[in-house]
A = this chain, B = another copy of it.
Amino acid sequence: MHFADALVRSIKAKESALCVGLDPQLGKVPKFLVERVIREHGETMEAAAEAFIAFNKGIIDAVKDLVPAVKPQLAYYEEFGHQGIRAFEETCAYAKQQGLLVIADGKRNDIGSTAEAYARAFFEPNLFGKFQETSVDALTVNGYLGFDGINPFLKACGKDKGIFVLVRTSNPSSGDIQDRITADEAMSMAELMGHFVESWGSDLEGEEGYSSVGAVVGATHPVQAERLRAILPKNFFLVPGYGTQGGTAEDVAACFNNDGLGALIVQARGIIYAFAEEGGLANGENFAEAARNATLKMKEDVNRVR
C-alpha cells in the first residue's frame, strides 16, 4: 500500500499520531537483560545485539496497539558493527510482523549513483533477489546534495515506500545553517528545503491526500513549524524533540493540519527508558509496562492538541 495511505489509516485505526524511537544503548537498557545476554554470549558484540533485540521486542509488544510506527535510529545499531545491524534487521522484521510501520532514521545522503545503493539497501531486495532483511517502510534523508541525491528515493516512494527529508531539525544548533535567509528567495534555508520537499513529493500523493515524501520538523520550533505547515500542506511531518528534548504538546500542535493528520510525533528516551525515570525496579524488569504507560500518557497529551 502507498506509504502515506498506510500511515493515515493506521493513525485513524489506532487513534494515535505517535512514533516510538527505538534507540537502544547498552548502558541504558535494563540490567537484567544485559546480565542475561552476557551469561549466554559473553561480553561480545553478539551479546549486545541480543540485548537490543530482546529489549526492542519487549517495547514493540508493549506499544504496538498504541502507535502506528516505530523509528529505529541507525547510529545506535551501527555502534555494534555488523552484529548491531543484525539487531536492526531483526527489530525491523519483528515490528513489521506486529503491524507497525518502520521508519529507519539514517539521515542518508549522497550523489545519485550512491543514493541508488542506499535506496536498494533500505527499500529493495539485493541483486540475488532473495533477501529483504533490511527492508523498511520509510527512511529519513538529508537534502543538502539537492535533487539528484533524493531522486533514487523518490522512485522507491512510487513503489509504496516513504522518505522524510530533514527540513528543520530539533537540535539547538539547527539554525546555524537552517535559519540562514537566502538572498534570492527571501526565505530561510529550512523554508527553501520545505519548498523542495513539496515539489519532490507533488506527484506522490495517495488516496488519503498525503504524499509519501515527508519532512523532519523539530518539535522545538513551533513558529517555524506553522510556516512550514503552510508550505507543505500535503506532506507528513516527522516530529522529533517531544519530551526529553523539551518539546510539549502545545509546541507540536502547529505540525498538524485541521484534519488532525499530517504529523507523527516521535519520542524515544522518554518512552523506552521510562522505567528508569519513573522509579522502576532496580534491574528494569518493568521496562515494557513503563513504556506502555508513558506511551498512553503521551497519546492522550498529543491527541488533546490535534
* Interface of A toward B, CB cutoff 8 Å: 23, 25-27, 43-45, 47-48, 73, 75-76, 78-86, 88-89, 105, 107-112, 114-115, 117-118, 120-122, 126-128, 130-131, 133-134, 142-149, 166, 169-178, 180-186, 189, 192-193, 196, 240, 245
Contacts and interface: CB of A to CB of B under 8 A. Distances in A.
A233 to B, nearest CB: 22
Contacts of A131: 44-45, 81
A182 to B, nearest CB: 5
This protein's copies in its complex: 2
A80 B126 contact: yes
Contact of A85 (B85, B108, B122, B127): B85
A109 B141 CA distance: 10
A241 to B, nearest CB: 9
Contacts of A148: 171-173
A146 B79 contact: no
5 contacts: A75-B114, A79-B121, A112-B172, A146-B174, A147-B176
A99 B277 CA distance: 47
Contact of A76 (B117, B184, B186): B117
Contacts of A177: 143-146, 189, 192-193, 196
A144 B245 CA distance: 19
B121 A75 contact: yes
Nearest to A184: B181
A181 B178 contact: no
B79 A86 contact: no
Contacts of A82: 82-83, 85-86, 88-89, 133
A181 B302 CA distance: 38
A170 B86 contact: no
B130 A144 contact: no
Which 9 A-B residue pairings sit nearest by Cβ, starting from the closest? Answer: A146-B176, A146-B173, A75-B117, A111-B171, A82-B85, A78-B121, A148-B173, A82-B86, A181-B183
Contacts of A183: 180-183, 186
B182 A112 contact: no
Given A177-B192, A186-B183, A107 B142 contact: yes
Contacts of A245: 111
Given A148-B173, A166-B144, A173-B145, A117 B181 contact: no
A88 to B, nearest CB: 8
Contact of A134 (B27, B78, B180): B78
A144 B43 contact: no
Contacts of A115: 75
Contacts of A196: 176-177
A127 B48 CA distance: 9
A19 to B, nearest CB: 15
Greatest chain B CB density within 10 A among A26, A76, A144 is at A144
